[in-house]
Structure 1
Amino acid sequence: MKETMRSVQRILAVFESFSIDRTSLMLQEIADRISLPKSTAFRIVQSLEKAGYLVRLEDQQYCLSFQLTRLAGHVRSTLGIREISRPVLLQLADRTRETASLHTLSGSHRICIDAVATVAAPLRMVAQPGEQVPMVAGAGSKVLMAFMPPEKLSAMVVEVARLTKRARAEIEKELQQIRDQGFAVSHGERLLGISAISAPIRDAEDQVRYCISVGAPTVRMRINEHEIVRSILIAAADISRQFGAATVDMQDEIRFLAKDTGTITHRISD
Structure 2
Amino acid sequence: MRSVQRILAVFESFTIDRTSLKLQEIADNIALPKSTVFRIVQSLEKAGYLVRLEDQQYCLSFQFTRLAGNVRSTLGIREISRPILLQLADLTRETASLHALSGSYRICIDAVATVAAPLRMVAQPGEQVPLIAGAASKVLMAHLPPDKLSALVVDVARATKRSRGELEDELKQIRSQGFAVSHGERLLGISAISAPIYDAGDQVRYCISVGAPTIRMRVNEACVVSSLLTAAADISRQFGAAAIDLQDDTQFLTKSTGVTTHRLAG
Bin of the TM-score, shorter chain as denominator length: 0.5 to 0.7
Shift of 1:218: 0.1
Cα RMSD (Å): 2.3
Conservation of the 8 A alpha-carbon contact between 2:135 and 2:192: yes
**SS class of match (1:178):** helix
Query: 1:250 maps to what in 2?
Result: 245
**SS class of match (1:201):** strand
Shift of 1:252: 1.7
Query: 1:261 maps to what in 2?
Result: 259
Query: 2:112 maps to what in 1?
Result: 116
CA distance in 1, matches of 2:107, 2:74: 21
CA distance in 1, matches of 2:175, 2:73: 31
Query: 2:189 maps to what in 1?
Result: 193
Point out the structure with the larger helix share: 1
Q: Provide structure 2 residue ranges, at least 5 long, that are not aligned to the other structure.
A: 1-71
CA distance in 2, matches of 1:246, 1:108: 27
CA distance in 2, matches of 1:258, 1:134: 31
CA distance in 2, matches of 1:111, 1:229: 22
Which structure has the bigger radius of gyration?
1
CA distance in 1, matches of 2:261, 2:180: 16
Query: 1:83 maps to what in 2?
Result: 79
**SS class of match (1:250):** coil
Query: 1:213 maps to what in 2?
Result: 209
CA distance in 1, matches of 2:161, 2:73: 44
Shift of 1:246: 2.2
CA distance in 2, matches of 1:244, 1:79: 15
CA distance in 1, matches of 2:111, 2:185: 20
Q: Provide structure 1 residue ranges, at least 5 long, that are not aligned to the other structure.
A: 1-75, 265-270
Code of the residue aligned with 1:104 in structure 2: it is: A
Shift of 1:109: 1.2
Greater RCO structure (CA 8 Å; 6+ sep): 1
C-alpha distance 88-255 of structure 1, shift in aligned 2 (>3 A): farther
Code of the residue aligned with 2:89 in structure 1: it is: A
CA distance in 2, matches of 1:236, 1:192: 26
Code of the residue aligned with 2:92 in structure 1: it is: T
In the alignment, which of 116, 133, 136 is matched to residue 140 of structure 1? 136
Q: What number of residue pairs does the alignment pair up?
A: 189
| Runs of 4+ deviating beyond 4 Å | 76-79, 257-260
Shift of 1:106: 1.1
Code of the residue aligned with 1:121 in structure 2: it is: A
**SS class of match (1:227):** helix
The percentage of counterpart residues that share the same residue type is: 76
In the alignment, which of 122, 146, 153 is matched to residue 149 of structure 2? 153
> What whole-Å deviation, never above 9, does each CA across 1:63-87 have from its counterpart, x for those lacking one?
xxxxxxxxxxxxx989610000000
C-alpha distance 168-90 of structure 1, shift in aligned 2 (>3 A): same
